Structure 1
Amino acid sequence: MTITRFTPFSDVAALQNRLNSIFHDFSRPQATEGESLQSGSFVPAVDIYEDAQKLALTFEIPGIKPEDVDVRVENNVLTVKGERALAGEQKEENFRRIERRFGSFTRSFTLPQSVDTEQVTAQSDNGVLVIELPKKAASQPKQIKVAVVANQIEAKENQPASAEQKAA
């Protein structure tokens, strides 16, 4: 008969490691419908805002020069590419800890048909990239005023009789 050592918490430790890996997977940004996300070491956060006139995307890209960002619209898909490199001339093996994320990224978004892809603008200021996509004029809502018809019926009854009506 073989004797094995009983370790009561080994199963608990294995379960905790598994749960940690699951939560680590969920903490990474995920692609949503109409968006593809290529996972890398650096993925910029993006806010998407829409009103009646435009669709605006705001990216956080600190440390990336505007000329190092590639913004393209092709077949109703907006693609933003860039790369954030490790700054300075320090050797990687001399670092004790690196918590900032570096690397290349690609974010793609499928645009709605209401967006005018010919009028796209992009501005960068202090590490914030704002891409504005105006909507087509035909897709903007138009308010139509409703006329009241009941007043016209009353006005016809109160009008004086015409010469033809008097002759009859």
Structure 2
Amino acid sequence: MSDATDLALLPALRRLLLGLVVLVMLGMLMDLLLLEHYEEVWQWVPLGLLTVALGVAAWTARAGSRLAVTAFRITMLLVVCTGLLGVAMHYDGSREFQMETDPALTGWALFIKVIRAKAPPTLAPAAMIQVGLFGLLYTWRHPALAAPTKGVLR
């Protein structure tokens, strides 16, 4: 392929990537709702953030402005951070449960038991990290974020 063909494909690939991010976020939101992931205050965080992220994604797709893409980038950073926090919280909850069940568990054996636990699923929030990283990839070298060249003193 030529450089011109590659450049022509970039906008389409960028739109497909944003569509994929939106599809995954919708799936995650539905999954959390079906699992009734709203019993405690902290459980509302991913629900709220995914809802906001979907709105910002729609704004970004429609406007494509520097402000929209920047807002999307910030939102995706928050999604990554929420995923990291979620993994830590799920790990801690599972660790406490495993230690109550078998107080003799320590070290590697405890770690393996916690990682393999189904309630709460320790690594489930890592999906938020992945979708956030894909969202950030969408914003990488986005044309709306290019430095303006008109009227800028050098």
TM class by shorter-chain length? Answer: under 0.3
Greater fraction strand? 1
TM-score normalised by length of structure 2: 0.25
Greater helix fraction, Structure 1 or Structure 2: 2
Does 1 or 2 have the higher relative contact order (CA < 8 Å, sep 6+)?
A: 2
Task: Decide which structure has the larger Cα Rg and report it.
Answer: 1
